[in-house]
């Protein structure tokens, strides 16, 4: 029997603290830094973002998103035999124990299933889905919880208006399960370490202290140029792998980083704006969480329906990029789950 994987549940979570552009502009003005709602919206399409409370960690956000995905999938935590969590803001400075293991603990899982973090920054969720799909196809795991969770507010320099206005906190999750029917139709991943310096947090542990900067550093123009170049190409590679054309895509769910990058990608794929899921205006760039967040919102509000075809793609530091083409044939019927909160 040939094994495939399919999505049977989605979930997401945004912290309660919502910060509008005007609120952020007022905060920055107190430090003598000028920005405005118009300036932020015109350059990114972002109107607001959510910031975690000081006591909230990536694992806390991840657990809520995971619980909602499990509820839709009608599974219990111990039905999961692998957790793959994508994050650039793990719970611990040394990145261990993994945030995936912390999530396993907080979900109350006792079945000794595997748990691991992956790091591909904003492409992390696509990398994690591709990895989960490979494990399931190989017959190694049956039910995989894939999570993207970030608290990027912890690594933002609020003296740098070119970056601090762009990012937010949040989490998204899906449940993939083994199936005789193809759900994940194609995955394609890439990386080019020659561009590792254009998006990074260049600090490193040194004798119990931090050497270098703990803040996010980004060469915005360089990231924009690379992103618009690679996203179209990787989408076509995934379509070619699945023997499909862009006309067969029902929904494009891109990494929610910048509306200009997103719109450019859709245009190059010949997709109308109405076929692109956009949530960046409400939560900013949540890195590895942004794709599953957007996916869950569109599933729960009824835009993405059972058996439709969805293209998910992202780019991130490293430089990394990738795409996943999915037929949403594992979803429950609309109305069998609650709308996104």
Q: Collapse the DSSP code of 134 into the 3-class scheme (helix H, G, I; strand E, B; otherwise coil) and give the result.
A: helix
Look up residue 325 and give its DSSP letter. E
Q: Collapse the DSSP code of 154 into the 3-class scheme (helix H, G, I; strand E, B; otherwise coil) and give the result.
A: helix
* C-alpha span between 42 and 259 (Å, rounded): 9
8 Å CB contact between 85 and 106:
no
8 Å CB contact between 6 and 329:
yes
Number of H helices, E strands in the chain: 10, 15
Look up residue 39 and give its DSSP letter. H
| Catalytic residue list contains 329 | no
Report the relative pairing of strands 199-200 and 17-20 from DSSP bridges.
unpaired
- Tell me which of 21, 143, 258, 285 is the catalytic residue: 285
- Tell me which of 141, 255, 258, 283 is the catalytic residue: 255
Cα Rg of the chain (Å, integer): 19
Instruction: Beginning with the edge strand found earlier in the chain, give each strand of the sheet holding 309-316 in spatial order.
Output: 184-191, 320-327, 309-316, 251-254
- Tell me which of 101, 122, 217, 258 is the catalytic residue: 122
Q: What tokens does 192 get? A: 């080019």
| Catalytic residue list contains 285 | yes
8 Å CB contact between 83 and 175:
no
* C-alpha span between 322 and 315 (Å, rounded): 7
Print the SS3 string covering 15-36: CCEEEEHHHHHHHHHCCCCCCC
Backbone dihedral angles phi then psi of residue 190, each to the nearest 5 degrees? -145, 160
| Catalytic residue list contains 255 | yes
Q: Which residues contact 130 (CB under 8 A, 6 or more apart)?
A: 187, 189, 322, 324
Q: Collapse the DSSP code of 251 into the 3-class scheme (helix H, G, I; strand E, B; otherwise coil) and give the result.
A: strand
* C-alpha span between 247 and 235 (Å, rounded): 12
Look up residue 290 and give its DSSP letter. H
Catalytically annotated residues: 122, 255, 285
């Amino acid at each position: 029997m040939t094994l495939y994987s399919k999505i049977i549940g989605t979930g997401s979570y945004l912290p309660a603290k919502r910060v509008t552009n005007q609120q952020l502009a007022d905060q920055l003005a107190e430090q003598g830094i000028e920005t405005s709602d118009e300036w932020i919206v015109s350059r990114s399409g972002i109107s607001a973002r959510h910031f975690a409370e000081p006591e909230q960690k990536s694992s806390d956000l991840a657990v809520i998103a995971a619980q909602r995905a499990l509820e839709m999938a009608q599974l219990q935590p111990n039905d999961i035999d692998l957790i793959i969590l994508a994050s650039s803001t793990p719970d611990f400075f040394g990145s261990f124990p993994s945030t995936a293991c912390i999530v396993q603990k907080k979900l109350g899982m006792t079945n000794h299933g595997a748990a691991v973090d992956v790091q591909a920054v904003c492409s992390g969720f696509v990398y994690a889905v591709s990895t989960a799909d490979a494990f399931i196809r190989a017959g190694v795991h049956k039910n995989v919880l894939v999570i993207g969770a970030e608290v990027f507010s912890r690594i933002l320099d609020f003296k740098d208006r070119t970056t601090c206005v762009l990012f937010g906190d949040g989490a998204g999750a899906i449940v993939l399960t083994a199936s005789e029917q193809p759900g994940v139709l194609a995955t394609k991943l890439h990386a080019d370490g020659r561009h590792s310096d254009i998006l990074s947090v260049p600090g490193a542990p040194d004798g119990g202290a931090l050497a270098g900067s703990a803040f996010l550093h980004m060469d915005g123009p360089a990231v924009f140029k690379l992103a618009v170049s690679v996203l179209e190409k990787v989408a076509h590679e995934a379509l070619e792998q699945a023997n499909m054309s862009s006309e067969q895509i029902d929904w494009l769910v891109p990494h929610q980083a910048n509306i200009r990058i997103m719109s450019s990608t859709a245009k190059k794929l010949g997709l109308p704006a109405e076929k692109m899921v956009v949530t960046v205006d409400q939560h900013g760039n949540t890195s590895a969480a942004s794709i599953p967040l957007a996916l869950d919102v569109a599933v729960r509000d009824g835009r993405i329906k059972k058996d439709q075809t969805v293209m998910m793609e992202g780019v991130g530091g490293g430089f990394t990029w990738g795409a996943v083409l999915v037929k949403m044939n594992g979803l429950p019927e609309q109305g069998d789950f609650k709308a996104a909160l």
